[in-house]
Amino acid sequence: MLHGMQEAALISDNPHIAASFRRLGEKADIYRVWMDGPVLRIDAQGVWDIETAEAYARDITRIIAELRLASPFLRAIVDRSSMPIFGAGVHKLLLHTYDHVLRSGDRVALVVDSSLAKGQIRRIAGREETQTFLSISAARTWVLAYD
């Protein structure tokens, strides 16, 4: 448990490729990670503090390492349409994590709720491996293209 927060795993065929996190006493997960066919799905919501970002960084690093054992390329959709832009400390930690775990040839689609958010995300997460979208279906099409 992290300062009033707890982690809870989702049920999965491979328990190493699933995670969720919620604050103690909250009804909704702050993030959920699971496999949706060949795509790693991540749903994120709410305002994240450093403790939440640290828990996410640990989970996503572990999960991506496990996925790399089966496939050299990551295919992921991150639905962050229910969350604001990250604060500076959280943003820096997540960029460091992504720099560590993403490789050339990966495809990570970030789903946002508006064109304004799409532009902001593109400026701060503009890597070759990432693209921003306004819908899950468009994100999935891009992630799975050419596979």
User: pLDDT tens, 92-146?
Assistant: 898 889 889 999 999 999 998 887 777 667 655 667 788 889 999 999 999 999 7
Query: Is the per-residue pLDDT at 69 higher than 50?
Result: yes
Per-residue pLDDT, 12? 40
Pair 55, 94: CB distance under 8 Å = no
Question: Which CATH number fits the domain that encloses residue 79?
Answer: 3.30.750.24
- Per the structure, the complete domain to which residue 40 belongs is given by 5-144
Per-residue pLDDT, 47? 86
Confidence category of residue 56, pLDDT binned at 50, 70, 90: very high
Instruction: Output the CA–CA distances (angstroms, integers) from residue 56 to 16, 21, 128, in the order listed.
Output: 14, 8, 22
Q: Count up the domains in the chain and report the number.
A: 1
Query: Is the per-residue pLDDT at 10 higher than 50?
Result: no
What average pLDDT does the segment 30-39 reach?
90
Query: Is the per-residue pLDDT at 4 higher than 60?
Result: no
Query: Is the per-residue pLDDT at 15 higher than 60?
Result: no
Query: Is the per-residue pLDDT at 25 higher than 50?
Result: yes
Per-residue pLDDT, 115? 77
How many Cα atoms within 13 Å fall on the side-chain side of residue 78? Answer: 22
Per-residue pLDDT, 8? 36
Instruction: Output the CA–CA distances (angstroms, integers) from residue 123 to 45, 68, 127, in the order listed.
Output: 20, 28, 9
Beta bridge partners of 75: 107
Q: Is the dihedral of CA 68, 71, 73, 74 positive or negative?
A: negative
Q: Which residue has the higher pLDDT, 24 or 142?
A: 142
Per-residue pLDDT, 76? 95
Q: Which residue has the higher pLDDT, 58 or 95?
A: 58
